Amino acid sequence: MKDEFSDEEWDDYLTGRIASDARARIDAHLLVCSACWELYEKQAPVMHAVGDAAADAREHLTISDRQLRIMFSQTLTTIRAAEENTPAQIRHGLEFLNSLLIPVFGPEAAHRALRLAATRSLDQVTPESWNSFLERLANITSIVCGDVFAGMIREHGQMAPAVH
Amino acid sequence: MIATRLTPKLAVLLLASQTLLVAGLIIFAKLGLIARQEYSELLIGLGFGAVARGMAFVLFLRIADEYRSVRLTRLAWQALAIHAALMYLRGLVTSSLVDLLIEDYYSSPLRGFLNHSLGSISSIFLLLGVIGILTGYRRAGLGPNLRARDYAAISITLILFGGLLSFRANLDDGHSPWAINRILQPLDLCLIAAASIVSIVLYRYAASMSGGKMAAALRWLVIYGIGPGVLVLLLQVILPATAGAILLDFSPVGRLWTLLPWMLTLTAAVRAQITVDVLAHVARLKLAGREKPVTA
């Protein structure tokens, strides 16, 4: 899939924000690629639901565009992490760490800290690299919030809950 | 743990009490029910100021202790603690209450010297503290880029303070018999302007976090950092300029200085509360006992 179009184009396609020429290209690809079609069928309902919920929220709640973008980016992170190559335990671990960071860091800085700790992308965190990822995250949190919070990240990152 | 007792709620309660007491005295005097109680107002400011600075000092030192592995950030919080202590000392030795002990002290060059020397030193510690925190964030990779409106706010601050400094002969110590006072007052103003500018940068950092308790603590520090600049401009530029057009007594506006220490106390209290909440969260997680290793 990545040879045909980028992750960003795919996200834009799912949310209907894509340019018409790129849309035509992905439409054409979906006609011939069953793997991408399956992925589309799996992700499209979620993205449409998110889009509808966002539209509802925009209409009924006073959420700024900025906050909406953060919520959207978190949803994308979760969806991407749910792809086959991310083990469920890592996904749970990332969600758990995110839930610890958000009340203190705020959603945007929490997401940025996780990405910085992952060095490249959250998708590439593996069980093997989990400890080094956790150590980098603890170092970042110790600068912002001190050793107590960093200690919690270290300790509970090793023991992320299995079910949320 | 001291932070469980010196909470943001307590700080807000004390701030509200001080505001009500001083506002009550001023309003009753304006209504003609009592005579203006200037010394009582000053005493209230000094007393509550001591509590505010004391709380901030203790909390900042406790917060600094939490950064044993990050020397720069630890030093930054310690600098804020020293700032709190120096500012209280400054409030004490520059109060017009000292006039009760030393005749004509308030208008003496000694008071001017103590005011601006302690003010300058404490502003340096404030700057060191805020810059230390900002540098830590940037090193961690969490520093955002400034926006056009931030540069606009910084430019306006520079222009206003530049204007004020160019007319420094009109300031309190512009004609002081002590040459050092004539140097220290503009230096003090420059440092207040610098604190305002750094606080604008800090605001961008806090805003980029999109919420969270750390951003809340930083916001109080932003208000504290910008506050002196706003008050100096209000009292030295805006009110004198409008005094002819608006026939109101602006003298109570000067009392706003006595509320400013609470902004620093709230910074410390909100930040210290993070640790209290984190420890409570850890205790809850342990109680829940639903943990399982990721890397089994």
Task: Encode pLDDT of B26-69 as tens digits.
Answer: 999 888 888 888 888 888 988 999 999 999 999 999 999 989 88
Q: Is the pLDDT of residue A1 over 60?
A: no
Q: Is the pLDDT of residue B115 over 60?
A: yes
Among the partner-chain residues B67, B213, B294, the one whose CB lies closest to the CB of A103 is B213
Closest CA to B80 of B220, B206, B180, B212: B220
Q: Is B165 on the interface with A (CB under 8 A)?
A: no
**What average pLDDT does the structure give for chain A?**
78
> How close B136 comes to chain A (CA, Å)?
6
Average pLDDT over residues B166-180: 72
**What average pLDDT does the structure give for chain B?**
85
Residues of B in contact with A99 (CB under 8 A): none
Give residue limits of the domains in chain A: 1-63, 87-164
Average pLDDT over residues A114-132: 82
Q: How many domains does chain B have?
A: 1
The secondary structure of B192-245 as a DSSP string is HHHHHHHHHHHHHHHHHTTSSHHHHHHHHHHHHHHHHHHHHHIIIIIHHHHTTT
CA separation for the pair B99, A140 (Å, rounded): 51
| Domain span at B131 | 2-287
| B292 domain residue, yes or no | no
Residue in this structure with the two tokens 């600094």, named with its chain if needed: B64
| B251 domain residue, yes or no | yes
Among the partner-chain residues A70, A144, A162, the one whose CB lies closest to the CB of B210 is A70
Task: Encode pLDDT of B190-247 as tens digits.
Answer: 898 898 899 888 888 888 877 788 889 989 999 998 888 888 888 877 887 777 676 6
pLDDT at A164: 37
What percent of chain B lies above the pLDDT cut of 90? 31
CA separation for the pair B11, B262 (Å, rounded): 7
| B218 domain residue, yes or no | yes
ipTM surpasses 0.85:
no
Q: Is A95 on the interface with B (CB under 8 A)?
A: no
